[in-house]
Amino acid sequence: MDDPRSLESRPASALLELLAQADRAFRRRPPPLLARIPSDRPIQVVGDLHGDDVALLRALRYARNQVPPHRLVALGDYIDRNTRRQPDPPTLPGGSLWVSACLLAWTSALPGEVVALQGNHESARRLPVPGPSFLREIRRALGRGDSLEIYRGFMDLLERLPWAARTRNGVFLAHGGIPPPGRT
């Protein structure tokens, strides 16, 4: 996979290839349910992004520009709520689509450096808002063409993210509470 920072200038049509690359990376190194994060350097934690691409980009730049670079842990809820119009010329839009694509690119290219956890918005079965809102955002950005395939690809990959992370020195990170046994 090429440098995920180039994601900002990719055409929207590159999403299927990005999803295929992330899928291949996840198949080679499946994300665990509990990600283990070394405690050898600082960790930057980012809460619910809800499509706030500006906040994600700011956090990524800050974490990667530190000496030594900080690890970044995103706590989930990447999709819905904050969307933007398609820019001109058509490049990958901001909002939930860009946040999801960027995090998948970074986590598959640099596992352990950028860790994206599942929130309750990363599973079509657990979405508190109608799941089609993310699909509508994809269709607005890309047209109807491959949008359903892209939506399914995103949801499949997002559902495979770890549910929680633990640092070597015992810090536990999760989006929300721990579900009772037998509930997912």
Given a cut of 70, whether residue 19 has pLDDT beyond it is: yes
Q: Where are the alpha helices (DSSP H) in 38-95?
A: 53-65
The answer, as to whether pTM is greater than 0.85, is no
Domains present along the chain, CATH in parentheses: 4-165 (3.60.21.10)
The predicted structure's pLDDT at residue 134: 84
For residues 1-20, give the mean pLDDT. 65
Name the nearest CA neighbour of 152 among 4, 59, 19, 10.
Answer: 19
> CB–CB of 95/55 below 8 Å?
no
Name the nearest CA neighbour of 162 among 31, 24, 22, 29.
Answer: 31
Lowest mean pLDDT among 9-13, 23-27, 74-78, 156-160: 9-13
The predicted structure's pLDDT at residue 161: 92
For residues 147-170, give the mean pLDDT. 91
Instruction: Find residue 36's DSSP bridge partners.
Output: 166
Given a cut of 80, whether residue 5 has pLDDT beyond it is: no
The predicted structure's pLDDT at residue 3: 47
Kindly state the percentage of the chain with pLDDT values over 70: 77
> Could you read off the pLDDT of 117-149 as tens digits, one per residue?
998 877 766 555 545 688 888 888 777 888 888
> Could you read off the pLDDT of 74-122 as tens digits, one per residue?
999 898 765 554 444 445 556 888 889 989 988 888 888 999 999 887 7
Instruction: Find residue 165's DSSP bridge partners.
Output: 35, 173
> Could you read off the pLDDT of 38-65 as tens digits, one per residue?
989 999 999 999 888 888 888 988 998 9
Q: Mean of the per-residue pLDDT values for the chain?
A: 81
**CA dihedral (57, 36, 47, 107) positive or negative:** positive
Higher pLDDT, 152 or 4: 152
